[in-house]
Structure 1
Amino acid sequence: MHPLARQTLQAALGTGWADPRRLHREGRTARGLLDQARAVIADGLGVSPAEVGFAPDGPTAVRWGIEGLRYAGRRRGARTVASAVEHSAVLLPGRHEAAQTGNPDDFATVPVDATGRVDLEAWRRSVAVPGTVAVALQHANGEVGTVQPLEEAHEAARAAGVPMAVDAQASLGRVAAPAAYDVLAGDAQSWGGPGGLGVLVVRSGTRWLRPGPADPDHALHGPGGHLPWVPLALAAAEAWQQTEASRAEDARAAFALVESIRAAAGTVGDVDVVGDPVERLPHVVTFSALYADGESLVGEFDRQGFSIGSGSACTASTLEPSHVLAAMGALTHGNVRVTLPVAAVAPEREAWVRDFVTQLAPAVERVRAQIGAPRP
């Protein structure tokens, strides 16, 4: 968390602990604080507070966003369209719904190019298929960083009369917030806020309705039906204000740091640096190393003091390769993902990256040597 967001969270324990639905003094205080937090986030996103709701986390906000579009449009059809590199919060429920209807065509995925960018011609054709009631496209991919052409995709969806949900979990607070969407989902952690808080925006005039009984407290917590713990909402609002104030400068610095990682990885034999090198998030980089296992690389870097991720093949839970890299036609084995926090959260990040760059090639070589891989 952003340091000031952490301070806000701690201070709010004494003032915002009450249930904001209650009419007593403490409840009214909590209600006012919740309204204040929503207003801050709404202002940052360029929408009205009534359009902003909360969810237990970012993936839940994504699921609810698409669920509400599908349910509201159920009399017109049941088909959903998404890019092939969407978050699992889009792909897994979509496939499940298609299996429930017995019609695999009720969920369609659109291919991407080698950088992970959606094929716009294929997108236009797919969203125009009769019976399509919802489309989903991420703002940018959290694994490889590639930014999607939201404006063109949204224009195609509007021409077909279909609302578009945008997953901005990886991008909010790190680049300018998108404007081309009907439903937007994000996660407070992306801008240095606390975990356990997703954000859901439903534009006025969008046909959106979650299944189930009418929500009696809609005016209190907005779209989604989730009433967050008020201290979490306040901490998220504080983190947004702080991160947004320094976003442009932070993004420039992070872009340069990631560029140094991309360059260092590119000098190692049989290593593939993926994603668009320019039209990308400033703080995310992924590379894949032949003759090396992703989990082994994560362990090796961990021993050197670096906490990184892997969207690679053979995860312990699913034994499935990264669907993002597979859709791009990239190497799915030996995958490493680095995500830089904002500078206020990690003032040492520049030094960390310099050290990481010097350790990158030796770490890959050590992992390769463990399995007796040939030297590139």
Structure 2
Amino acid sequence: MSEPPAYFDAASAAPLHPVARQAMLAALEDGWADPGKLYTQARRARQLLDAARAATAEVLRVRPDELSFTPSGTTAAHAAVLGGLTGRRRVGATLVHSAIEHSAVLHAAERHLAGGGSSTSVPVSRSGRLDLDAWSGAVAGPGVALAALISASHEVGTVQPLAEAAGACAAAGVPLYVDAAQSVGRIPVPEGWSVLSASAHKWGGPPGVGLLVVRKGTRWESPYPADEREAGRTPGVPNLPAIVAAAAALRMVAAEASAEAERLSPLVDRIRATVSATVPDVEVVGDPVDRLPHLVTFSCLYVDGEALLHALDRRGFAVSSGSSCTSSTLRPSHVLEAMGVLSHGNVRISLHRDSTEAEVDRLLAELPGIVADLRAEAGVVGL
């Protein structure tokens, strides 16, 4: 490769923000003690933890005492679902969720089902947008304890109608949990939710920090054994240096979010248009308008997804796949399956603060040839 590698997988993990790196190094020097103790070093650690919580809560427009730090976004999602269901077990045992929730939410739903609960999956359109009529009917059903809706699809970028979905939940008296992992730090999350989770490494913080927000008045009960830390919502000593770094990065990316959206959205539009025009038998999926500013997904017919990702990697492009369909599993992504769109040869491109127009142009120039070569190797020619 004559060009430096281009990283296009920020939806999985954004590169560590420089501010996060600086904050983490400082916190390693000054925040290593247990913030639950009373001696001098511990009090200093507590000050850092409280400041990080306050800064993060300010960005999210919530109270600091509603926010807890967890060991990961997955942990936060599990706690949000299971805690919300446990807290409302006297009302019922039904979880309503969209068909395109993150696997962390669906795995928590599976645990709920194994324990004797029930769930209702609400369909989406071909663009990946929630069927609001079906949602309203589902949350108004008997025995619904909790509703879960992702803020924006992590696989195709479609932004969900959260305000309308929250209104339906409010009318039915059902709390709404929002997985905001792809939205926090990029686009505003509408009000109306009761529980929210997010993950720091999606916005340029370090891995190993999740956010769990439980609004005052929400019936939520920790699914874990009793622990006095983090308001009893998640057990264990918090990773303070990582939390400080996550908070610093979030403040910075939230301040830059509008400008970054204006910069990245036209690049995504260019990818959508150019791929459609230059690669035969390709389907660009997700809503073209109501979408995240940094993410685009397309599927190439007659191409193995795993082979395409490896070919792009050899040419210096780090991309992901919205589909788990590989030669070994032959199982398409549940998100693409729910949308009813093409899942073969699926590529997800997600840009970040260091992504450049030149990198995008290079990808668009090389992609048609890469796809054509893979099709020729598979014996598919003349397209």
Q: Give the TM-score normalised by structure 1.
A: 0.94
230 and 75 in structure 1: CA distance in 2 versus 1, 3 angstrom threshold: same
The offset of 1:216, in angstroms, is 2.4
2:263 counterpart of 1:253: yes
What does residue 8 of structure 2 align with?
none
CA distance in 1: counterparts of 2:79 and 2:332, whole angstroms = 26
Shifted more, 360-369 versus 126-135: the winner is 360-369
The offset of 1:97, in angstroms, is 2.0
What does residue 363 of structure 2 align with?
356
- Read off the aligned partner of 1:292 and give its amino acid letter: V
What does residue 295 of structure 1 align with?
306
111 and 257 in structure 1: CA distance in 2 versus 1, 3 angstrom threshold: same
2:242 counterpart of 1:232: yes
Aligned residues with identical type, % of pairs: 49
Provide the aligned C-alpha RMSD in A.
Answer: 1.5
CA distance in 2: counterparts of 1:318 and 1:82, whole angstroms = 25
1:148-204 deviations in whole A, cap 9, x for unaligned?
000111111111111010001111111123323110100111221111111111111
- Read off the aligned partner of 1:367 and give its amino acid letter: L
190 and 113 in structure 1: CA distance in 2 versus 1, 3 angstrom threshold: same
The offset of 1:374, in angstroms, is 3.0
CA distance in 1: counterparts of 2:237 and 2:132, whole angstroms = 37
CA distance in 2: counterparts of 1:287 and 1:51, whole angstroms = 38
* 1:140 paired residue among 152, 163, 169: 152
2:216 counterpart of 1:209: no
CA distance in 2: counterparts of 1:277 and 1:6, whole angstroms = 34
Shifted more, 258-267 versus 91-100: the winner is 91-100
What does residue 35 of structure 1 align with?
50
What secondary structure sits across from 1:181 in the alignment? Answer: coil
Quick check: 1:5–1:238 contact (8 Å CA) kept in 2?
yes
Q: Which has the higher contact order (CA 8 A, sep 6+)?
A: 2
CA distance in 2: counterparts of 1:85 and 1:213, whole angstroms = 30
* 1:2 paired residue among 17, 42, 66: 17
CA distance in 1: counterparts of 2:28 and 2:224, whole angstroms = 32
150 and 177 in structure 1: CA distance in 2 versus 1, 3 angstrom threshold: closer
- Read off the aligned partner of 2:363 and give its amino acid letter: F
CA distance in 2: counterparts of 1:316 and 1:75, whole angstroms = 46
* 1:166 paired residue among 178, 181, 185: 178
2:130 counterpart of 1:118: yes
What secondary structure sits across from 2:283 in the alignment? Answer: strand
Q: Give the TM-score normalised by structure 2.
A: 0.92
CA distance in 2: counterparts of 1:217 and 1:93, whole angstroms = 23
- Read off the aligned partner of 2:207 and give its amino acid letter: G
The offset of 1:316, in angstroms, is 6.7
Structure 2's unaligned 5+ residue stretches are 1-15
What does residue 321 of structure 2 align with?
310
What does residue 372 of structure 1 align with?
379
2:202 counterpart of 1:187: no
Aligned residues: 367
What secondary structure sits across from 2:321 in the alignment? Answer: coil
Quick check: 2:68–2:230 contact (8 Å CA) kept in 1?
no
Quick check: 1:127–1:162 contact (8 Å CA) kept in 2?
yes
What does residue 3 of structure 2 align with?
none
The offset of 1:317, in angstroms, is 7.3
- Read off the aligned partner of 1:75 and give its amino acid letter: R
The offset of 1:99, in angstroms, is 3.3
* 1:335 paired residue among 346, 352, 355: 346
Quick check: 1:139–1:178 contact (8 Å CA) kept in 2?
no
156 and 177 in structure 1: CA distance in 2 versus 1, 3 angstrom threshold: closer
1:291-320 deviations in whole A, cap 9, x for unaligned?
001111101110110100012253377542
What secondary structure sits across from 1:246 in the alignment? Answer: helix
CA distance in 2: counterparts of 1:139 and 1:313, whole angstroms = 21
What does residue 275 of structure 1 align with?
286
123 and 64 in structure 1: CA distance in 2 versus 1, 3 angstrom threshold: same
